[in-house]
Structure 1
């Protein structure tokens, strides 16, 4: 929310309006690029950016993070549109938004912070790899294969096509030049870097294509109102499909996790008010509900635009609301400008964004200090590439739970021989089924010609599987007519 006191301060208003222009210039190519990569009209990306600014920007939660179409959902949207059709995207996004609102009102927002960071990093890394693998085909104006494995297998053929096909080589050159510009931009003088890197790279690629008389593929532009297709009753009836329900859950959970982890990252970048996670989840849900009603792309809070907002000096929500206004004015007054941007340049922007999602620099230190977390990250990322986003994330979460259970189920077994030949075996810690093989292996090694007492009073936790196994072990020994086993609990 923007307070009246903030709006009365001309210094704050001027600073936040300038910041909003920076965010707008960063958001513009990303909104268009994410839409094209998702297999939907370019204008729908602008619609989501506009809603993220003008609607979510006014709602409480986080003052400084910016919402819009995200590269992290590109893969999921592309798969949903391919499987269910563009007309079903709206109901899916709307249902996911309503679910987010319910979760926020039920105060589930804070629980998203309990998700393993390694799983989230693995999710982002997997998404980044899929984006890069898919968009390198788009950089050459070639159709990308459907699955992650097919994209990998098709890379040699892609290289051959680029070398032998002049049109593919030209398009790939524009895309590669865009990536090179994005990598070079941070090294340029500060006065040059006033222009956001994505805008500069796309503008340069467009200018080169125009001046050189090239004819690369460009986005189809039909105007904002023509691109919006309000879903009807037939489309909403698809929500009864089990596969569609699974996609709704995936949209809601992944969009929520990405938004709230983005909020945590942005909160570390400024000293202003902290994010209210439950309210932010409601705000994201309201935004997605409206986007779904308009048939547009889903939204999340986006780290790139949010970081640009903070770094540009914004201190209130005015900057993110105003950036939505600039997007609306652009889409209404200059829609044809989108139609001259080479798709290869937009693909280059997304290849760069996808690479930034892969935590390559962080993986080495993580491997040295927390090897289990590094393995969890890698497995989640690989599973997303090999299967799909939803199944990869579910696998990562399950492995995180198993890993946590394994690490917390430490049990120590000590043996003391008392006078009279009696052996006391003391178990301490947490005895769970994960440690059963080790416990039973050590018990089988105990002498059978001496009375044995199992002391379980030092256990903090004894699950049902362990209790039954210990009782069965004692019963077998007693039935074998050897020295008896007693259990002290």
Structure 2
């Protein structure tokens, strides 16, 4: 049964329809403040976040892939979107998201969805940690009503000055008070009675902060509302022409990598929460691509599958795609019928919601056991996060991937060098494992320490892999050893080459 079929089938079963509708309301209440908050934090009109949530619910919800995970604007892309809008302008956001969606569709059709699962978990965690750090620090400025510095490092270094300015400014202190109150509600909400917790924490925190601000008559910055139709800005031909620049293409690749990886990792997490049909990763990648293509055509934010809304969907008892489709319908109705409700929300309250979400992206609890058990993975995680904070999202992720590849190559190129002295003055040097250029220093140090003038047998029969660099180095050592004395050097080739009938290479020549 396809996702579209399951949606329409639910309408013929009243009990199932009622259950899916209730789950969709829960998801809608969770998604509403997050869609607006992510848009504001990204430096774009609030309506663009709601448009992406609507597309993620209705369009992606009707497509096959993962039946229960929910798509929409994500905190994980906030920093990248903010930098893209700052560098290229709001008009280029649509083309970038459009190109990202088309690239995701192509990758899905090419059956590349499963390969995103091969990305090192440490790189993904480091990516999210870096995003979380920049997001948290950046939103602290919004909580205080101050302008954010452009780079992540400057945001961190500017915190002492921000605190000093906030304490000495009554408007900033008022806005910060609203943010602190919102954050306190978010943290304390999980300890509230079960009936109270039926209302999602982000919605409750924003609603209470908004009501308190209105009741006390506090003059704090609020969300600016333009209207849904006014916010939609399809890409122009001149904007589409900007896709040819190298900087923009790099941003598209970063969007594609991060959005796809986050969506598919989210799908894997959601699959562990329920016993229903498993995710088809290639189809899910196509669905995310179609959703981003539509978002790009509307000039709105990029989307990913988001674990907070997805877990709320599963926990609310959803079993079909109808719940995520209906949550998109509720977002559409709310935005069209009651847009003024968005304009009374304090920016500091939304910033506090994003600070709370950003903190969840930083795997503090997992870092200590990871350091104890897999120190190399912990280094990759921290290096990726630090690089994102100090440079940019794309450069940080690329560094993390390179470190993961180097670590994998280093661990798989383990080689053991054994030296045995035999009767008659012969020396046997046996190599076992994978002899690659990464282990050349150790191998050559052992060989160059051998005494000259003694016959040497280099036994490579237990070598599983001998790369070109290592072979060339061994041949060069054999020539130098023969040239330094009168002792012959005999090389026994790897077993795979002997079985294949390969004759001895140049290094096998005796003296």
Please tell me the TM-score bracket, short chain as reference.
Answer: over 0.9
How far 1:417 moved relative to its partner?
2.5
Does residue 135 of structure 2 align to residue 131 of structure 1?
yes
Does residue 473 of structure 2 align to residue 469 of structure 1?
yes
Counting only pairs closer than 5 Å after superposition, residues 147-226 of structure 1 correspond to structure 2 as 147-226=151-230
1:236-283: CA deviations, max 9, x gaps? 000011100111111111100000000011111111111000000000
> Which consecutive residues of structure 1, in runs of 5 or more, have no partner in the other structure?
none
Moved more, 385-394 or 443-452: 443-452
SS at match of 2:198: coil
1:281-337: CA deviations, max 9, x gaps? 000000000000000000000010001101111110000000000000000001110
**Which of 52, 60, 63 pairs up with 1:59?**
63
How far 1:13 moved relative to its partner?
1.3
How far 1:482 moved relative to its partner?
3.8
Counting only pairs closer than 5 Å after superposition, residues 348-427 of structure 1 correspond to structure 2 as 348-427=352-431
SS at match of 1:419: coil
- C-alpha distance in 1 between matches for 2:366 and 2:15: 39
- C-alpha distance in 1 between matches for 2:419 and 2:165: 70
**Which of 234, 240, 246 pairs up with 1:242?**
246
- C-alpha distance in 2 between matches for 1:122 and 1:226: 37
Equivalent residue for 1:323?
327
Equivalent residue for 1:300?
304
SS at match of 1:456: strand
* Aligned residues: CA RMSD: 0.8
Does residue 276 of structure 2 align to residue 272 of structure 1?
yes
Equivalent residue for 1:143?
147
Equivalent residue for 1:346?
350
**Which of 68, 76, 88 pairs up with 2:92?**
88
- C-alpha distance in 2 between matches for 1:150 and 1:415: 55
Dislocated runs of 4+, deviation >4 Å: none
**Which of 13, 17, 20 pairs up with 2:17?**
13
What number of residue pairs does the alignment pair up?
489
- C-alpha distance in 1 between matches for 2:475 and 2:180: 67
Report if aligned partners of 2:452, 2:484 keep a CA contact under 8 Å in 1: no
> Which consecutive residues of structure 2, in runs of 5 or more, have no partner in the other structure?
494-511
1:397-435: CA deviations, max 9, x gaps? 000000000011110111222332211111110011111
**Which of 432, 436, 440 pairs up with 2:436?**
432
- C-alpha distance in 2 between matches for 1:133 and 1:468: 51
- C-alpha distance in 2 between matches for 1:149 and 1:57: 38
Report if aligned partners of 2:453, 2:485 keep a CA contact under 8 Å in 1: no
How far 1:370 moved relative to its partner?
0.9
- C-alpha distance in 2 between matches for 1:82 and 1:28: 25
SS at match of 2:43: coil
Does residue 24 of structure 2 align to residue 37 of structure 1?
no
- C-alpha distance in 2 between matches for 1:5 and 1:89: 37
Equivalent residue for 2:288?
284
Equivalent residue for 1:22?
26
How far 1:446 moved relative to its partner?
1.6
SS at match of 1:412: strand
Report if aligned partners of 2:10, 2:17 keep a CA contact under 8 Å in 1: yes
- C-alpha distance in 2 between matches for 1:69 and 1:299: 5
- C-alpha distance in 1 between matches for 2:164 and 2:421: 74
- C-alpha distance in 1 between matches for 2:464 and 2:228: 62
- C-alpha distance in 2 between matches for 1:368 and 1:237: 50
Moved more, 479-488 or 296-305: 479-488
Does residue 48 of structure 2 align to residue 68 of structure 1?
no
How far 1:233 moved relative to its partner?
0.4
- C-alpha distance in 2 between matches for 1:32 and 1:263: 23
